[in-house]
Amino acid sequence: MELPHVVLVTVVAESVLEHRLVRDLRDVGAHGWTITDARGRGSRGVRADEFEGDNVRLETLVTQEMADRFLAVLARDYFPLYAVVAWTTPAAVVRPDKYA
């Protein structure tokens, strides 16, 4: 069965950024997302919040256009200042209008 495609955007960031990321994600029009706790290491190697857990992993299914806008926000407001990585993968879904 040929399923329509959307974009899965995954962001791993320091946990203090969770609220801000969700707010920015909402602003580009995403309708939903999933957040899990994560830990690991990156090139920056700095953490300021031992007490809330190391990182969060944010995943969201969005259209290509929303993904582009969100990544632009990340590149402008987050990458220069915080420990954040993000990537996209194509995802096949059954209900594409849910994510538009």
Question: Can you give the binding site for other proteins, defined by CB under 8 A?
Answer: 14, 16-17, 19-20, 46-53, 81-82
Which one, 44 or 98, has the nearer CB to other proteins? 44
Q: Report how far residue 5's alpha carbon sits from residue 90's, in angstroms, rounded to the nearest whole number.
A: 7
Which one, 7 or 21, has the nearer CB to other proteins? 21
Q: Report how far residue 81's alpha carbon sits from residue 2's, in angstroms, rounded to the nearest whole number.
A: 41
Find the shortest distance in angstroms from Cβ 14 to other proteins: 7
Which one, 45 or 90, has the nearer CB to other proteins? 45
- List phi, psi (to 5°) of 75: -65, -35
Contact between residue 9 and residue 88 where contact means Cβ atoms under 8 Å apart? yes
